[in-house]
């Protein structure tokens, strides 16, 4: 049975390990990154942030007790805008220094690596994302 650890405990420890040059693997929860990351099932490999590019999936601190693992959809100077792939609306804003890590690998429960896309097509499909996510929820998973 998986153990759930509060983000206020888990994430500072993950950041400490990343600052030591280590990578960190964990299983995120929630559905905000569907269909690319299935919360509670897929695991993600996090590494230090070397560069940020639109389309990266990042772990960011939005407020003192609020962290998100979402896709970077806009960069303007020091301002970063994030949005979950499974979200139909709503964005988070933070500064570059609030981006704690970047996803380097996504692995399904069966050990299959999932492709890390830049998400451009998915972002362009935002107007019909509700329909696509509904179809996804009712489709059996192969991986």
Which residue ranges form the domains of the chain, and what is each CATH number? Answer: 7-137 (2.10.109.10)
Answer whether residue 142 shows pLDDT above 60.
no
pLDDT(141) > 90: no
pLDDT in tens, 73-119: 999 999 999 999 988 888 999 999 999 999 999 999 999 999 888 77
**Where does 27-136 show beta strands of DSSP type E?**
43-47, 57-63, 66-76, 79-83, 92-95, 99-107, 113-114
pTM: 0.87
Q: Specify the pLDDT at position 2.
A: 61
Please, which pLDDT band fits residue 6 given cuts at 50, 70 and 90? confident
Query: Which of 23-27, 31-35, 54-58, 120-124 is least confident?
Result: 120-124
Name 119's Cβ contacts closer than 8 Å, sequence gap at least 6.
36, 55, 57, 71, 73, 85
56-86 pLDDT, tens digit per residue, is 999 999 998 899 999 999 999 999 999 999 8
* Radius of gyration for the alpha carbons in the chain, expressed in angstroms and rounded: 15
| Stronger pLDDT, 3 or 143, i.e. the higher one | 3
- What per-residue confidence (pLDDT) applies to 92? 96
Burial profile 107-131: b = 16 or more Cβ within 10 angstroms, e = fewer: bbeeeeebebeebeebeeeeeebee
Task: Return the pLDDT at 26.
Answer: 93
Please state, in angstroms and rounded to a whole number, the distance separating the CA atoms of residues 130 and 81: 21
Size (the chain), residues:
143
């Amino acid at each position: 049975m998986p153990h759930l650890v509060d983000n206020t405990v888990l994430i500072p420890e993950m950041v400490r390990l990343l600052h030591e040059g280590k990578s960190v693997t964990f299983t995120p929860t929630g559905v905000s990154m569907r269909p690319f990351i299935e919360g509670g099932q897929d695991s993600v490999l996090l590494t230090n942030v070397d560069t940020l590019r639109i389309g990266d999936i990042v772990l960011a601190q939005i407020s003192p007790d609020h962290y998100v693992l979402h896709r970077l959809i806009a960069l303007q100077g020091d301002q970063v805008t994030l949005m979950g792939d499974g979200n139909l609306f709503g964005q988070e804003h933070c500064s570059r220094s609030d981006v704690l890590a970047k996803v380097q690998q996504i692995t399904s429960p069966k050990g299959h690596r999932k492709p890390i896309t830049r998400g451009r097509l998915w972002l362009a499909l935002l107007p019909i994302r509700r329909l696509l996510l509904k179809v996804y929820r009712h489709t059996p998973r192969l991986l």
